[in-house]
Structure 1
């Protein structure tokens, strides 16, 4: 067995000694002309076809020496993968491949002493090369931090409020492949390369090469673990930057609702951002680094999404298990919509059927449980209206706190009308038999023609609540001893209900035109009854009946009429200026309608009978008000004041 093969055909035999040949080959490797690799490839090919152990030729040792030197440069820190030119990194990768093939060739004859020695040396070199790959892979993968943190800190999730258009514009800008910026002098700057999750195209290319080298070198597990470890830390770090708090179910049960509300607002923004932006980029990243290794990339992405989504879904589950109450309705709806709306985007990214089914089950459980709570809270609103049986009337006939609470509650609820429609459809067959609310609702069903089978379950629920509120207010109106004040109370509350409904587009649509017309008609009826109850008595004082006998005005009767008018008007004024009509339009309508019936009648009465009195003290004694004074006093009604200073009072 000779020490080395004859020189290749293109090399003159005998023109160089051993050292010269090694130097030339060292130079050729440095310049990447591939001559040494050609010899190694030919050696591998010929060895695989022999039945005898291959002869360990000198350029195999030369190859091992040169590869060893290259590895030492990485181990010493004098070289880094990111510093290599593309042909240099390709050369290193080829050395790894050829080392693996040489090991395969020698392994057939591992019992031979020369083969065993070659295997030991090449295995050691290959193992060190894999260690270099692992170190460089982790180093580049870890290099996401500065850029990624900057992106996260300025992302829509970390901003208090942004409009939809602003968010869409930012998203489009971030996902453009090239961004063109304009310099201060107005000239077009060079395009910047797209980066996602902090990795440039160059870094992705390096990571892909290194992952391929590790996989081909048999370090699939180590490569996957490194990727998982670094990206998990990245996720944890980003959540920390966003100040995302992880609460256990026990911790959540002990917390007050107000801090939980604030956490839900942050959770909602972050969860949407992670599901619609971060996770798709994480999918792109793992697919780019492990291109051609789909089972591995699928597994890594699934494991990472388990971590990300577990943080968010665990929070949702913890909130879901807190004690149910009316003030939680809107945050429950926020969580419900967020999970429901973001899930399809996540579903498209996951290839692991087992994990996907698990995720679907978790999301379904959260939405189902929250839906049940939302449905029940709404049903319990009926009971809260029924149980409000306070016996103290609201001063001045003003809008009752119950009316404000219920209508504002419904106003905000109707902003979620589509979601509530879905929830009520899902739960319309829930068993409510035996409950008080079911009995009340059944009674209303038969009493109010507005509640029909043509309406959706949520529309019917709104109508039921409105009708229960009407019944409650009707009962509270009877607490007033003064019938006109009872009517003012009904007008105030009815007007508030109508204006809230008309001012909320969703509620206005749900309740429909017939309901609005019926409400308006009820208000007109209250208005008419109020005028009859209050001002008819005053107008009777201005009646002409019994004032004249045989064409002569009976002065004593006239004096009593004026005195009766003055005292009656004083009483009405003194009482009704303390009454409250907070709706400016309703207040104006009442004043105008009162003036329209009182002022003309009073002006006519005065015009006909005022000359009966002797001018001077007698006139002033009985004619206390001029028509203009009456008009001024009417303009002071219903403002809730206890002190007025009309010049005639």
Structure 2
């Protein structure tokens, strides 16, 4: 046989530079490994070429309009396995530097097939997200999160989406099952694309579609983005309406919308912490910051007693939601959200303290000089006790707000309110403080009790001054008795002794 023919048939590592009569040296282990990885590469390319080419949107006309995961779920699973097999073969192949020259044609073909597969999976990922927009709404996802039908899928990386779907079908209804199927498919596609180095493409599709859902849901909840200048121009009726809308939307926004989106994203991108964090930050961070900044804007608006109780309701709402806000926005890149929630709490607390201080100052500055006919109830008494009684409904929020604040309680009641029934005996000394008859420090509501006691004592002092407006002593005492009885009844009706 001519030497040229022998050279063509024998492996390339045989040399024909000269012949010295000795047998050729056996191939080294490294050369055997190169040959093995190259052969495996060729076999994998041959094995997966048909199914990948069949579903290439750029190669087959029907593939442009047909969904692989909807048309044939079994084949979709085989498609994912084929992509994973191809990727492993490519990694083994390129790890041997000698293959990069001798098998370059095979590698190019494999790369082309991988790109075709990624085009298919990008299309499937987009179609599944779009087609299941309603089924994957945050409310539904959040409601299903307590079950194990889908959330455990990430713990079984080796199983197929059908394994999760069969498990889910045993305990949920038709709509829930459809959502479970979609979540399992999205998870499987994302895992495959990320593993193949196409995580950015997957991230881009997910972000575009899901961010619009967040914005749309907030709009449907009635949330409106307002600038401080716009808020300052609103009358109280309009502002009160917007506060009530925000209060009604707050629980749904945090516990359902943002929490549900985090649950869905954690499932779909369970295999990549970096993509999961970046995606959630891009989707939810800005919307959540804007939503939670609304109470801060309210706190910075012009203060008035009628706004006080809305301020406290906003404070209560954020304090209650804090246990949800912190874990949902636990990523470093979403730290601005819990920070905004805390800022809103601080500003609301400052507004509440300032409003109470303003109210006390207004009581002290009351200059009405007309005595009430018949020694009746003074308007200042009604107005002040209505304010105090309503404050008592927000004792938890006020206890938080005044926890670190010191308050001075007047050292004595007006002498007229002390027991002087025994004229022969000298008057009893005035109590040194309200705390002399009640140990507030043993009561959890101590800061609130002290603050309310101060308001009532200021009111009593003002009533003592107004009693002096009567020319008849009997009317003066009747005025004080009527107003004091009104105060006592208000306190007894509001506080549990």
**Superposed, which structure 2 residues align to 1:85-234 within 5 Å?**
85-104=72-91, 108=97, 112=101, 115-147=103-135, 192-193=172-173, 200-234=179-213
Aligned residues: 425
Contact 1:477 1:486 in 2 (8 A): yes
Contact 1:248 1:315 in 2 (8 A): no
Where structure 1 has 5 or more consecutive residues not aligned to the other structure, the ranges are 3-45, 156-170, 179-189, 430-437, 510-649
Q: 1:468 to 1:139 in 2, by over 3 A?
A: same
Are 1:468 and 2:446 matched, yes or no? no
SS at match of 2:270: coil
Partner of 1:50: 35
Q: 1:495 to 1:354 in 2, by over 3 A?
A: same
Deviates more, 1:141-150 or 1:363-372: 141-150
2-structure distance, mates of 1:58, 1:218? 22
Displacement of 1:310 in angstroms is 0.7
2-structure distance, mates of 1:473, 1:480? 12
Partner of 1:371: 349
Partner of 1:25: none
SS at match of 1:469: helix
User: Which entry has the higher C-alpha Rg, 1 or 2?
Assistant: 1
Displacement of 1:56 in angstroms is 8.9
SS at match of 1:392: coil
Partner of 2:434: 451
Deviations 1:211-263 (A, max 9, x none): 01211221112212222222211111111111211112232233223322221
Displacement of 1:94 in angstroms is 1.9
SS at match of 1:415: helix
TM-score, normalising length: structure 1: 0.58
Displacement of 1:204 in angstroms is 0.8
Contact 1:71 1:128 in 2 (8 A): yes
Q: 1:263 to 1:151 in 2, by over 3 A?
A: same
Q: 1:49 to 1:304 in 2, by over 3 A?
A: same
Displacement of 1:275 in angstroms is 2.2
2-structure distance, mates of 1:173, 1:235? 18
Partner of residue 248 from structure 1, selected from 227, 249, 263: 227
Q: 1:200 to 1:147 in 2, by over 3 A?
A: closer
Displacement of 1:110 in angstroms is 7.5
Are 1:410 and 2:388 matched, yes or no? yes
SS at match of 2:328: coil
Q: 1:66 to 1:474 in 2, by over 3 A?
A: closer
Contact 2:211 2:284 in 1 (8 A): no
Are 1:260 and 2:239 matched, yes or no? yes
Partner of 2:362: 384
2-structure distance, mates of 1:301, 1:135? 22
Q: 1:134 to 1:173 in 2, by over 3 A?
A: closer
Are 1:314 and 2:331 matched, yes or no? no
Deviations 1:347-406 (A, max 9, x none): 2334424644x4444333322222222122212222111111111233444322211111
Displacement of 1:109 in angstroms is 6.1
Q: 1:76 to 1:501 in 2, by over 3 A?
A: same
Contact 1:93 1:213 in 2 (8 A): yes
Partner of 1:642: none
**Superposed, which structure 2 residues align to 1:484-563 within 5 Å?**
484-505=474-495, 508-509=496-497
Displacement of 1:279 in angstroms is 3.2
RMSD: 3.7
Deviates more, 1:411-420 or 1:451-460: 451-460
Contact 2:191 2:269 in 1 (8 A): yes
Deviations 1:302-325 (A, max 9, x none): 444423421222212211221233
Deviations 1:272-298 (A, max 9, x none): 223223333223212221233334324
Are 1:478 and 2:460 matched, yes or no? no
Q: 1:173 to 1:236 in 2, by over 3 A?
A: closer
1-structure distance, mates of 2:124, 2:104? 30
**Superposed, which structure 2 residues align to 1:579-590 within 5 Å?**
none
1-structure distance, mates of 2:405, 2:229? 29
Partner of residue 249 from structure 2, selected from 258, 267, 270: 270
Contact 1:397 1:488 in 2 (8 A): yes
Partner of 1:423: 401
2-structure distance, mates of 1:130, 1:202? 21
Partner of residue 79 from structure 1, selected from 48, 54, 66: 66
Partner of 2:280: 301
2-structure distance, mates of 1:101, 1:132? 19
Are 1:348 and 2:327 matched, yes or no? yes
Q: 1:67 to 1:297 in 2, by over 3 A?
A: same
Displacement of 1:206 in angstroms is 0.6
Contact 2:193 2:199 in 1 (8 A): yes
1-structure distance, mates of 2:349, 2:145? 36
2-structure distance, mates of 1:407, 1:400? 11
Deviations 1:82-138 (A, max 9, x none): 3144431111112222333454466556865x8444444433332232122122212
Partner of 2:309: 330
Displacement of 1:413 in angstroms is 0.6
2-structure distance, mates of 1:55, 1:467? 91
Contact 2:467 2:479 in 1 (8 A): yes
2-structure distance, mates of 1:60, 1:399? 94
Contact 1:71 1:132 in 2 (8 A): yes
SS at match of 1:145: coil
Deviates more, 1:55-64 or 1:81-90: 55-64
**Which one has more relative contact order, counting CA pairs under 8 Å at least 6 apart?**
2
Contact 2:42 2:106 in 1 (8 A): no
Partner of 2:163: none
Contact 1:175 1:194 in 2 (8 A): no
Partner of 2:379: 401
